[in-house]
Structure 1
């Protein structure tokens, strides 16, 4: 069995020299182009390379600059170590933020601002020198925090595996005062710590008109939930919506703090959540055309792409993510009624299934070829075999629906029998009728992932599905649990699909409600209730505390009416 790896470890394994491939022909963004100038459908005789270039041009024509939103800080605060807090610290107010302008700061002084909530954006201020002579530059150190530990704990010595360049800090030099300063980099933050590293002894500095310039592809707030909705649901819904908002930039980023790239599995979840909170069909279309234009020569869609400084594809080909391209396209079509985009990208969606069906072995079981991977969850020990069959059935059913919507059912007619065959094979190989749950692999591993995807793929009956999720997950102490919000989402979705709505709501309250109770302003990349310092990268300060795949409770509440 090929072990599933974390997405980050795949990039590291493949190596920087082979991980990216670019399309030089579209190196300059085309954000100002009118979409109408680029044909949605190609001309007769268009080559695959020309088609991919056109898709990239379409994606670039759909680019929109994020909306800026100036926000003032609310308070000057100080961190206090507190073992009773999950995040290890609490913030105590020192003074209103308006008091900052009264302080004349010199070398060695510092302050810490609280902006009252999370945002992705820029930091700006007016810096004034006062004294006998403003006769030198000013050197400042700025540290940005999504959570208190980012600004309360030293970032060094850094023990992580990822580049320390992701750590949220800057040292800047301001040469001439007075001056309006706006840092060029975008950050993800609630807190900003500013340290005055040096000035001349002849003057001090004042900070005035300090602002965060929040940016997002959306604005406003989602419609309120129905009257009488439980307060914890309102809180979790609002946090999920903020998580989504701050990840919606010129693409659906996986996280505004770190990576800032477009992952297909995350996109699928973000797009679903956006349709019921911040609908932005342009952004979803842009992302799908980026994936399409950067597909491999055989047509397989990669797991992630980079959009800056120009569109680039990445080598990790996660088979389950490629399959979910089909689901993402179907759900855009359902939400937007955009049949033109669906018709344009349908052959590519169908191509994903053609490739994946070619990986079934002589027994009809899905096998990932050497050099490719499957994600399912962050867990190197997880056996993905049964889950992969579920993903295949789930997305094949979506392909059949998509074909129906655009009048291409005849093109996939043989797949109806194939779907039934996949489900029957999965049931025969991976369902234990005596213990009433599913297992996976030669060691017959029992996991939440296996139960969820066998249910979502329709590989077990409704009655069997309920038993699987109860016996193989919720009440099974030895079953391998999810590591990420990504898989927890699909477990909750499986519970809803088979009618265990109360259990789905309880799971959301336990997991996402647990994050909210632990102090989350936005939902995190991962959450271990027993250890706030856990990091798959070796250092908690490199973790992302606003992560796209965590935003989906709002989809359950608003789309599935799980209230």
Structure 2
């Protein structure tokens, strides 16, 4: 059984879809290549030398008082990292006559330190980074079994006996990443806000680069095709080694169904399992990810091997849309972005745009390989004719969708990225949209960054730069050190996951890496 995702904000739900083929058999020739390009993680040990007590005072570990029942400390790594904490405890007072219980909450942000644990939402509570540790024998060294993603550790002593207390003797953190780039340093002669936005994007990317490009190292810890497309684009400017991108491309290729569709995401460890979730737009954009990889590397051998995979993802849609119009049941499998609560977005025009964009990327790759493009060109013309006749309102200078002729941002973004009616019309549409459509509908950096990219591609760089400052700049002002999964400047506390869901939100999310690519390619001084 396959699933689609109805992303309707806090009313979101997984839905069965028997029309979507699932993986019956892996493609071993591609998985062998994936294994050959597995990456090694880089490790460093971060020593924690001081703690913050309940009054906010910083105290060296060696000077900490004895920790008794009810004592709370905060350990600060100084920066966001992914890895494992190690804590060494001794005791003071009488010989321990009972085990100690210590609660550990691993926090990505300062706000999580004081969040209530009374989470009410539809995401499983198992994503909350919190555990209670029982320590029986002393001296004791506790190493967190689960990998955590955090900057802070909130330590609360739940229980000792009245005869003894705990001493925190030593604390360190073994951080890990597959990234091989160094973070940029601040320079006095540069735009400080943009430099910090760039740092935020790079720290995000660095921590999401583990065995694969994870969407978020706290949650969901897996390889999502939508995030991977953005992350690989950004990493191509920063990495000297492209193995991790190649590894992920071959994982998707190796798990493609015989019908041609690709899973929305992959569980890469502890064993390889393609998710039974399908998202139409993610499937179509595999070709874009491959095209970006080829442009960065000129790796013709990989392109030659994976071109048929990309072609099959497109033909999966073409075979089900003989008239050119994608059937409604297939459109409804698309993600597009976290959509705002209470607003029904008609997705049809946006998905026609994604389809056309993917077709053009495929034709470009086919031309590179000197593969016949007659069929692809015919499909492109079919789309352009359909879009011109049905999805463009010349009087409004906007793309529209559905019976109510809705002009949503998602339609403008994807039909301009596809240049459905040519670059001049795309620029006019974007100029009109910036002046007339509200930006408060964007709930995440995912589509927001796509809009910034389209603006840059069509000569509206000043508009893009303003959007980057307004969005990621506001995120910084609100305390972000890494790019958050969900953020709306007008509704900073919004979450699609339910009430009091701060502890399950991902505050380091791969699709927020956009600025590091945009700043380098389009917006340098």
- My pick for the range that moved more, 480-489 or 385-394, is 480-489
Q: What is the aligned counterpart of 1:162 among 123, 138, 142?
A: 123
**Residue aligning to 2:431:** 470
Do 2:488 and 2:494's aligned partners in 1 also have CA atoms closer than 8 Å? yes
Residues 66, 249 of structure 1: 8 Å contact kept: yes
Instruction: Give distance in 2, aligned partners of 1:179 and 1:101.
Output: 19
Post-superposition offset of 1:115:
1.7
Would the alpha carbon gap of residues 369 and 103 (structure 1) be closer, same or farther in structure 2, given more than 3 Å must change?
same
Shift of residue 342 of structure 1? 1.4
1:206 pairs with 2:167: yes
Structure 1 partner of 2:457: 497
CA contact (8 A) 1:134 1:200 kept: yes
* 1:13 equivalent in structure 2: 15
Equivalent in the alignment of 1:311:
272
* Equivalent residue, structure 1, for 2:371: 409
Question: TM-score of the superposition, structure 1-length normalised?
Answer: 0.85
Partner in structure 2 of residue 56 of structure 1 = 31
Counterpart of 2:237 in structure 1 is: 276
Contact 2:84 2:143 in 1 (8 A): yes
Q: Say which SS state the counterpart of residue 58 (structure 2) adopts.
A: strand
Q: Is the 8 A contact 1:20 1:313 kept in 2?
A: no
Aligned to 2:359: 396
Supply the distance in 1 between the matched residues of 2:270 and 2:11 (Cα, whole angstroms): 23
Contact 1:447–1:480 at 8 Å: present in 2 too?
no
What is the CA deviation profile of residues 399-442 of structure 1, one whole-angstrom value per residue up to 9, with x for unaligned ones? 1222233x2422x3321232233123212211111121111111
Paired position in structure 2 for 1:40? none
Q: Give how far 1:495 is off.
A: 0.5
Q: Does 1:423 align with 2:384?
A: yes
> Aligned pair 1:365/2:325, yes or no?
yes
Contact kept in structure 1, 2:230 and 2:514, CA below 8 Å = yes
CA distance in 1, matches of 2:263, 2:440: 28
Q: Report the CA distance shift for 1:211/1:476 in structure 2 as closer, same or farther (over 3 A).
A: same
The unaligned stretches of length 5 or more in structure 1 are: 24-48, 80-91
With 277-286 and 260-269 compared, the bigger mean Cα shift is at: 277-286
The match for 1:238 is 199
Q: What is the Cα-based RMSD across aligned positions, in Å?
A: 2.8
Shift of 1:93: 4.3
Name the SS for the 1:540 alignment partner.
coil
- Tell me if 1:527 matches 2:499: no
The answer on 1:556 being equivalent to 2:501 is no
CA distance in 1, matches of 2:437, 2:19: 42
Aligned to 1:33: none
1:70–1:353 CA distance, 2 compared to 1 (3 A)? same
Report if the CA contact (8 A) 1:306-1:312 is conserved.
yes
Query: Does the Cα contact within 8 Å between 1:522 and 1:545 map onto a contact in 2?
Result: yes
The TM-score normalised by the length of structure 2 is 0.91
Structure 1 residues 470 and 289 mapped into 2: Cα distance closer, same or farther (>3 Å)? Answer: same
Local SS of the residue matching 1:335: helix
Distance 1:506 1:449, change over 3 A: same
1:138, 1:198 within 8 Å by CA — same for their partners in 2? yes
Shift of 1:75: 4.8
Aligned length: 517
Could you say what secondary structure the match of 1:346 adopts? helix
Residue 78 of structure 1 deviates from its aligned partner by: 5.8
Change in 2 beyond 3 A, CA 1:298/1:558? same
Deviation readout 1:102-159 (Å, 9 max, x if unpaired): 3221222121122222111211121112322133322210011111221112212x21
CA positional deviation for 1:101: 4.8
- Does the 8 Å CA contact 2:84/2:144 hold for their aligned counterparts? yes
Runs of 4+ in 1 over 4 A off after TM superposition: 6-11, 17-23, 222-228, 477-480
Instruction: Name the CA distance, whole Å, in 1 between partners of 2:461 and 2:187.
Output: 18
Using the TM superposition, give the Cα deviation of residue 202 of structure 1 relative to its aligned residue in structure 2, in angstroms. Answer: 2.6
Name 1:89's counterpart in structure 2. none
Alignment pair present for 1:375 and 2:344: no
